[in-house]
Structure 1
Amino acid sequence: MPRDWLDDDHTGARIAHHRKLAGLTQRGLAQRIPYSYSLLHQVEAGHKNASPDLVSAVAKALHVDVTALTGQPYMTELQQDKLAGLIRPIREALDLYDLGADPALAPRGVEQLMVAAEELCSQVRATQLNKAAAALPLVIAELTTAAHRTPSTELWRALASAYRTAHDITVKLGFYDLSGIALDRMDWAAQRASDPVLSAVRQYMRALVYFREGEHTIGLRLIATGLAVLHQAPQSIESLAVAGQLHLGATVIAARAQDEDTVGKHLAHAREVAERTGEQGRVHWLSFGPTNVCAHEMSANVEMHEYGRAVENAANIHLLDSWATSRRAHFYVDRGRAEMETGRHDAALASLLQARRVAPQQTRYHSGARETIKALVRARRKTPDTLDSLASWIGR
Structure 2
Amino acid sequence: MPTPDDDRTGARIREQRKLARLTQKELAQRIPYSQSLINAVERGARAASIDFTAAVAHALRIDVTALTGQPYVTELQQDRLASLVRPIREALDLYDLGPDPDQTTRPTLALAAAADDLCQQVRATRLRNAAAALPGTIAELTTAVGRTPSTELWQALASTYRTAHDIAVKLGYYDLSAVALDRMAWAADRASDPCLSAVRQYMRALVYFREGEYRIGRRLITAGLTAVDQAPGGREAAAVRGQIHLGGSVLAARARQQTALDEHLAAAEGIAAEIGDASSVHWLSFGPANVAMHRMSAAVEMRRYDDALSQARTVRLPAGLATSRRAHFLIDQARAEMETGRTDAALTHLVEARRAAPEQTRYHPGARETISGLVHIARRTPDTLSQMAVWVGL
TM range (shorter): over 0.9
Separation in structure 1 between the aligned mates of residue 3 and residue 361 of structure 2, nearest angstrom:
20
Partner of 1:94: 92
Partner of 2:53: 55
- Per-residue CA deviations over 1:173-204 (Å, capped at 9, x if unaligned) read 00000000000101111011110011000010
Shift of 1:321: 1.2
Asked whether 1:148 is paired with 2:118, we answer no
| 1:217-296 to 2 correspondences below 5 Å | 217-296=215-294
Shift of 1:172: 0.2
- Per-residue CA deviations over 1:298-336 (Å, capped at 9, x if unaligned) read 000000000000000000001011111101100000000
Separation in structure 2 between the aligned mates of residue 6 and residue 204 of structure 1, nearest angstrom:
37
Contact 1:7 1:45 (C-alpha < 8 Å) held by counterparts: no
Partner residue of 1:116 out of 110, 114, 133:
114
* Change in CA separation of 1:337 and 1:6 when aligned onto 2, cut-off 3 Å: farther
* Change in CA separation of 1:76 and 1:250 when aligned onto 2, cut-off 3 Å: same
Contact 1:6 1:46 (C-alpha < 8 Å) held by counterparts: no
Partner of 2:359: 361
Shift of 1:230: 1.2
Partner of 2:201: 203
| 1:139-218 to 2 correspondences below 5 Å | 139-218=137-216
TM-score of the two chains, using structure 2 as the length reference: 0.98
Shift of 1:10: 1.3
Q: How many equivalent pairs are there?
A: 393
Partner residue of 1:12 out of 10, 13, 34:
10
Partner of 1:315: 313
Separation in structure 1 between the aligned mates of residue 291 and residue 332 of structure 2, nearest angstrom:
14
Partner of 2:43: 45
Range 285-294 or range 202-211, more displaced: 285-294
- Per-residue CA deviations over 1:96-135 (Å, capped at 9, x if unaligned) read 0011111111112212211111111111111111111111
Separation in structure 2 between the aligned mates of residue 119 and residue 72 of structure 1, nearest angstrom:
27
Shift of 1:9: 2.1
Partner of 1:384: 382
Separation in structure 2 between the aligned mates of residue 119 and residue 235 of structure 1, nearest angstrom:
26
| 1:60-139 to 2 correspondences below 5 Å | 60-139=58-137
Separation in structure 2 between the aligned mates of residue 118 and residue 10 of structure 1, nearest angstrom:
37
The percent of aligned pairs where both chains have the same amino acid is 64
Range 103-112 or range 318-327, more displaced: 103-112
- Per-residue CA deviations over 1:317-376 (Å, capped at 9, x if unaligned) read 010111111011000000000000000111100100010000000000000000000100
RMSD over equivalenced CA pairs, Å: 1.1
Contact 1:152 1:193 (C-alpha < 8 Å) held by counterparts: yes
TM-score of the two chains, using structure 1 as the length reference: 0.98
Separation in structure 1 between the aligned mates of residue 103 and residue 146 of structure 2, nearest angstrom:
12
Shift of 1:261: 1.1
